[in-house]
Each structure stands twice: as structure tokens, then as C-alpha cells.
Amino acid sequence: MKMIFKIAGTELRNLFFSPVAWFLTIAFMVQCGVYYTSALYPVAKWQEVLRENTPGFKTLGIPMTASIFLPQDGIFTNVLQNLYLFVPLLTMGLISREINSGTIKLLYSSPVKVREIVLGKYLAIMLYNLLLVGIVGVFIVTGLINIQHADYGLLLSAVLGFYLLVCAYTAIGLFMSSLSSYQIVSAIGSFIVIFILSRIGGLWQKYDLIRDLTYFLSLSGRTTKMLKGLITTKDVIYFILIVYLFVSFTLIKLKGGRESKPWYLKATRYVVVSVSVLFLGYFSSLPGWIGYWDTTATNSNTLNENTQAVIKEMKGAPLEITLYCNLFGSGVARGLPENRNDYLWNLWEPYLRFKPDIDFKYVYYYDVPDHDSTLYITWGGKSQQEIAKKMCEGYDIRPTLFKPGPEVRKLIDLAPENYRLVMQLKYKGKTTFLRTFEDAIFWPEEQQVAAAFNRLLQPAMPKEVFLTGNLERDIYKKGEREYNMHSLSKDNRYSLINIGFDADTLAVETQDIPAGTTTLVLADPKTALSPATMEKLQRYIDNGGNMFILGEPGKQQILNPLLAQLGVRMMDGTLIELSKDEMPQMVKPFITREATDLSKEPILDLLKEQFREGSDSLPLLMPGVTGLEWRNDGPYTVKPLLQTATNKVWLKAGVLVTDSVPPVFTPAEGDTKMPRYTTAIGLSRNIQGKEQRIVVTADADYLSNLRQGGGFMSRTFYSWMDYGKFPIYIPKPKARDLVLNIGSTGAGILRIVYVWVLPGCVLLLGTVLLIRRKRK
């Protein structure tokens, strides 16, 4: 060991007695200074401007640590992207210089062992790498000072990723330096090897035998998780194995130069080292063998506790996930074999961390709905088999990979899923579908996955029953008036069936309300409710059933008889709110403080904070609504959930005409005005040992397909009536690093110091040392 340290010290001195190391150090410092201050200055400037000119300003609302250190033009991203430009210049002379000058023969003839030479030189370069880490550390320390409550765990994880990557690069450079006496050849060789290892992860991904091998060998993306604050043993071991691989290759190469042995014996050494690396890398990448450490302050890389609780229940049996990929279906490219590793490690790794016994299967087929002739028209009347063959040519994959549709139909009916890319989950004999979506994210998010897991665990899911028989809104139709989007739409990731609910219809006049109904929904009936219907609804309410009642202006006479039993009444007329942009019946009531307690929706949590700080609420557009009034002496506790702005809305009596001039407030015609109107209320009471919950809204259009199904407010109402069990919300702890402790002036001074002054001082120091060395 003493000799290794001695060689390392000598090599380190040689590094700094050459201008290359000083040049690279200065260039690295300038690069870090430019990227850090370029990210810091505009944020500091905006914070300063807003703080001086906006009385209610507190924060920009973004985590400062990640926004300054980790954006696309941030210090870590750019340093890691450009690192391969520095390392080959640094390592090109480690051994090739000895070969070229002939001093390698002196080393061979000395009592120094080859392994001491190799390890000593690599130790020297590792120490130099620590110098680079120290330079980055200067900016991290500056960031900890500049950012209030900075996420130091995230920064330390990123530094570890940086150090491991630069050590892997220098190990490659060390080996390439041993192959040639020409330093420039060694540098070019290092560039080539780093390039190959950075791109190899995308090669031959279509072939099962070598997909995992090339994916494992890839350097690209190995630091991605560490930059996000997640350290995994899989990535750390990978870098250690890469260092071991190329340092061993260097040792074998130098030993081989002193030995007179057959080439195949020398080649065997390379093979043994390579096989051992692949063997260790394979087992260290297996689910269940990977350790995880989320270093972020908010545990942003870890599944939410609610999801973890669901996964913990899945004990005693493996989970089977089958991906059904239709060559003719939507999303086919995401499911092809070449993207399988992306599917496994980007979508499923967070779940494999807590349940490693997941068995993944794949079924590739081609099929179209029986009534759909679009495909045949597009392809000029060719048969399915002919079209499949041509498409496989385009994707450059084997046609034999895909089974004909009739063969797959014998095993599973995918017609209800419209033959899209879909996953079937199976656990202890129960199955459910987990869908993909035509949006920017495509794959299901944690909320949808947790809901699917629950379907496999629970005997029954919460059931929303929509009444029919009186021309109510239809959950099966996709017209702009109807309710398909927020209830049964399989294309909407936030529809009821994709977040944990079941939805069905019921003709209540001829059918009984089923036991176990979570919420009974009566959405805008257009005809009078029959006595039989009224009697069943009254019995359901008297027994403590939850209900969602949605009315519309002009339908007061239909719903008021039912609402009267609750002590509620829809006011006669239509609310008017005049504005320069919207039609007069487009009213924008605001979410009340009471409504923010209905669910764990992230927007409602933000509203709670705004209310605490005295800020305004959030408006919700209701296109045609009336007011609600109620008795306070009844059995129900009533909470207003949506209320209009103060003194801006009035109630128009009679028929509203909107295709001419704006309506005018006319008390003589029955128009009335109140300070505020309530358009949605929540009623609750304790009955039969549980709390009964009913929501009444005086508008039904805001949940329609045209209005995107009501968005977060729709989910809020259904969640409240399901007592918060579904959807499974996954709130993340709130970031604390939201404020900078530095202004634009200070950021500008830092730019001068880090980009000009500090590199200039290092340049002066290096120049003095090199001149003194030259004179000696």
C-alpha cells in the first residue's frame, strides 16, 4: 500500500506540473460558475422585483434547489453532459507517457509490481477527481447559503453521481492510455469508448437475448436517479463494476506485455473479468436485490404512504402483469420490445421497490373492432395479415411476434378496451385492467395504479349509481351534455372507473336501488319523477343513503318536491353575472372554506393556505345556474360549497333570452338581488350509526363532457360521499426551499467572482508554479 500511495503522489505532482491539469481545472471552474450564476441570477431578480412590487408576495412557489442546480441549463446537467470532453485529455498520458518515454521499462525492471503501478496511477486520478468534486462543492456550499432550507440531500446525491461518473470515465481513460504510446490516440480511444457505452443502451433492444445486456452496460442515464435524489445500489454497483472492469483490463494489458504466453490465455483473462462483471451486474439489478435511499427532503422519489399501505396488503402471492400490445392499436410503439426496459424501469421500478415479486408477461397481437373499416380503407383493402406484415416492415420487427386477433380473443376479450395498449393485473385469481391514456404522460400514474391494486384486494369497490328513466345525463354517451367523461371514460385517467369507483345506471321506477350503493346520482331529470320513483328515493334517503342531486334552471318544478324533503329549494329563475367576456348566464361562483375540507385534492390544499393568508378563493364556471336556499332548523347540517361573488350576481325571473342585448335587472318583472347566492351545498347528518352525506348543486352542466367532467371538483364531491376512501390521494410533503437569501446584486457579484476572479486566481497560481518548475 505504501508504494501505491507513493506512486499516486508522484503521478499527482506530474499532473499539476503539466499545463493540461491546470487548464482543465480552470475550464471546469468557469463552466460551473457560468451555469450556476446563470440559473441563480434571473430567479433572484424576479424574486426581488415581485417582493418589492407585490404586497402579498411570499415565494415563487418552486423548489429553489432543483430549479437552480438541476434544470436543463443548470450546473449538474451541463457538467455531466460535458464531462466526457475533459476526462480523455486528463487521462491520455497516464501510461502512454511512460510507454512513449521508455520509463515503463524502468518501472518493469524495478521491484514495483504492475498492480501497484496501475492502482497508484488510478488513485492519483481519483484524488484529482476529488478536486473537481471540491469545485462543485464550492457551489453547493454557496447554494446552501443562498437558498433558505436548501435540500442538501438532493445535492449530496447529485455530487455522488458526479463523482462516480467521473471515476468511471477516468478508468476508461486509464485503460485506453495503456493501449498506445501516442497520447492523442489514447484520448480519441477514450472518446470512442465513452460514446459507445453512452449509446449502447439503445442497441439491439428488439432482441430478448441481448436487450438486458446492452441496457446494463449503458452509461447513459445512470446518474439520472441520483440527480433526482435517489441513490440505488444498482447504479452504485454499476459504476464500481465499470471501474473494476477497465482497471483490470489495464492490469491485464500491462502484465501481458511482460509475459510470453499464448494469445488465447491472455484473452481468457479479459473474458473472465468481463463475465464476472456481467454476472455481478445482472444479480445486482434484480428486483429484491436493489437497495434504495431517497435523500430528498420531501421523499419525492418514493411512493406515497397510502400506496405503500395498499402494496403491503399484497402478501402471499406474486402479482402478474400482462402487457397487451396491439399492432393496430393506439400506443403500440410504447409497448414494442425495444421499449420494454423503459416500461419496466421507468413505470414499474417504484412498485418493484416494495413488491419485487411481480411477474411481467407480454402478448403481441393484431386486431381491430369488427365494426371498424378505417384500417382496411387506409391500407387499400388489404387483409389484417397483409397489413400486419407491412407494419412490421415499418417497425423493423419480426411478423411472427404478433398473434392473429382470433387467437387472442379465445383467451381474453379486449374489445371493451378498444384494443388499445393495456395492462391486465392478476393477483390471487382476480384480474383488472390498468390503462394507458392519450395525453402527455401516457402511462398510468400512481393514483391509477393504486386504484387498480385495490381492485385486486377489495371484495367490492365504491359504487356510483346514476338514475335513468327521466332523460337524465347519460354516462354512456359522449355528447357534450352527457356524463361519460367523468364516469366511464376509459380514455380519461381521472374518470371514476380509473380512480377506484364503479359506475352503473338504474331505472329506479322499475328496479330497486341495490344494497351497497355508495352514492345515488340524480343528474338533471327533464321529466317529472313518478310517485314510485319518489317513494323509492325517499326511502333511500330516510335509510341514510348518500346522494348527489344536480339540477338546472327551468327544472325547479321537477326537483323541488324531492329537495323539499331535505329542507332545500332551488330558487325560481336564472342567475346573471355580466362580464365583458362571457354570456350573462355564465356564472363563476367561488369555492368556500368549507368545501376545502371535502377531499385531499392538491388544489383544495392550496386554497386552504390562501384562506389562512387572507387571499381570494378560486372561481368555478357554471354555465346556467340558479340559487339554492335551505332551512336551518332541519335534521341536516348544511355547508355552502360554492357561492357567488358579493353583489355581482342577480336572479333573473322568467325565461332568460341570451341571443340579444344583455339582460337588465328589472324588479318589476320579479328579478331579485342578494349579496351572495349559493349554487352548491353539502348536507350531512348522523343516522343509523353513520354519517349521511348529500350534495346538491343548482347546475349540471359543469360536470358534462363539454366541461371536461368537472375536473377536481367532481372528484371532490365523489370522494366526500365515499368518506375519503377513493380516490387514493398521494400528496407529497411540501418543499421548504422556496426562498432565496440573495438578491440580484449579490447574484451579480457571485457571477464576477466565480466566472472571473476565482478562475483568474487559479490561473495565476498555476502559471507561477509552472514557471518555477520550468526554471528548475
Q: Mind listing the pLDDT tens digit for each residue in 638-682? A: 999 999 999 999 999 988 877 777 888 888 888 999 999 999 999
Cell output for 332: 403500440
Residue 101 confidence (pLDDT):
63
Instruction: Decide: 438 and 330 in contact? Cβ < 8 Å.
Output: yes
CA distance 350 to 738: 27
Report which residue type is found at 226.
M
Instruction: Decide: 126 and 7 in contact? Cβ < 8 Å.
Output: no
The number of C-alpha atoms within 13 Å of 132 and in the hemisphere containing its C-beta is: 31
Which H or E element spans position 590? strand 590-591
Secondary structure class of 680 (helix, strand, coil): strand
- H, E, C per residue of 371-424: CCCHHHHHCCCCCHHHHHHHHHHHHCCCHHHCEEHHHHHCCCCCHHHCCCCEEE
DSSP state of 542: H
Nearest to 99 by CA among 193, 4, 21, 185: 185
Locus of grid cell 494469445:
263
> From edge to edge, which strands make up the β-sheet containing 574-576?
574-576, 650-652, 672-673
Alpha-carbon distance values, 249 to 3, 93, 115, 204, 267 (Å): 21, 17, 11, 25, 10
DSSP state of 754: I
CA distance 215 to 245: 17
Q: How would CATH label the architecture of 462-572+584-648+673-721? A: 3-Layer(aba) Sandwich (3.40)
Report strand pairing: 547-550 vs 690-697: parallel
Cell output for 71: 434544470
Instruction: Decide: 98 and 104 in contact? Cβ < 8 Å.
Output: yes
Instruction: Decide: 26 and 763 in contact? Cβ < 8 Å.
Output: yes
By the 10 Å C-beta count (0-12 exposed, 13-18 middle, 19+ buried), 740 is classed as buried
- H, E, C per residue of 133-181: HHHHHHHHHHHHHHEECCCHHHHHHHHHHHHHHHHHHHHHHHHHHCCCC
Helices (H), 436-551: 446-457, 484-487, 531-542
CA-angle at 199, arms to 196 and 204, nearest 5°: 105
Instruction: Decide: 253 and 270 in contact? Cβ < 8 Å.
Output: no
Nearest to 741 by CA among 149, 198, 57, 156: 149
CA distance 673 to 605: 32
Instruction: Decide: 527 and 558 in contact? Cβ < 8 Å.
Output: yes
Residue 100 confidence (pLDDT):
66
Low-confidence residues in the chain, pLDDT < 50: none
Residue 526 confidence (pLDDT):
95
CA distance 131 to 722: 58
**What residue ranges of the chain are covered by domains with CATH 3.40.50?**
462-572+584-648+673-721
Residue 732 confidence (pLDDT):
83
Which residues 6+ apart lie within 8 Å of 741 measured at CB? 145, 146, 147, 148
Locus of grid cell 456550499:
141
By the 10 Å C-beta count (0-12 exposed, 13-18 middle, 19+ buried), 388 is classed as buried
Instruction: Decide: 623 and 702 in contact? Cβ < 8 Å.
Output: yes
Alpha-carbon distance values, 277 to 80, 123, 284, 458, 459 (Å): 24, 21, 10, 44, 47
Residue 100's Cα: distance from chain center in Å? 52
CA distance 228 to 301: 8
The length of the chain in residues reads 776
Q: Which residues pair with 148 in a beta bridge?
A: 739
Ramachandran quadrant class, 480 (left: phi over 0; alpha: psi -120 to 50; beta: rest): alpha
Q: Which residues pair with 550 in a beta bridge?
A: 523, 697
- Number of neighbours of residue 194 by Cβ within 10 angstroms: 21
The number of C-alpha atoms within 13 Å of 242 and in the hemisphere containing its C-beta is: 25
Residue 381 confidence (pLDDT):
83
CA distance 51 to 680: 37
User: Crossing angle for the helix pair 152-177 and 75-91, nearest 10 degrees?
Assistant: 20
Residue 106 confidence (pLDDT):
62
DSSP state of 427: E
CA-angle at 150, arms to 750 and 446, nearest 5°: 130
> How would you label 130-149 residue by residue, b for 16+ Cβ within 10 Å and e otherwise?
eebeebbeebbebbbebbeb
Secondary structure class of 639 (helix, strand, coil): strand
CA distance 137 to 119: 26
Residue 304 confidence (pLDDT):
94
Secondary structure class of 482 (helix, strand, coil): coil
Residue 505 confidence (pLDDT):
97
Residue 258 confidence (pLDDT):
67
Rg (CA), the chain: 34
CA-angle at 211, arms to 209 and 214, nearest 5°: 115
Q: Considering the entire predicted model, what is its pTM?
A: 0.91
Residue 12 confidence (pLDDT):
85
| Beta-sheet strands, E only, within 209-357 | 230-232, 292-294, 319-326
CA distance 380 to 386: 11
Alpha-carbon distance values, 730 to 306, 448, 493, 565 (Å): 7, 11, 15, 38
CA distance 332 to 325: 6
Helices (H), 519-655: 531-542, 556-564, 602-612
Nearest to 598 by CA among 459, 468, 712: 712
Helices (H), 285-380: 305-312, 332-335, 340-342, 349-352, 374-378
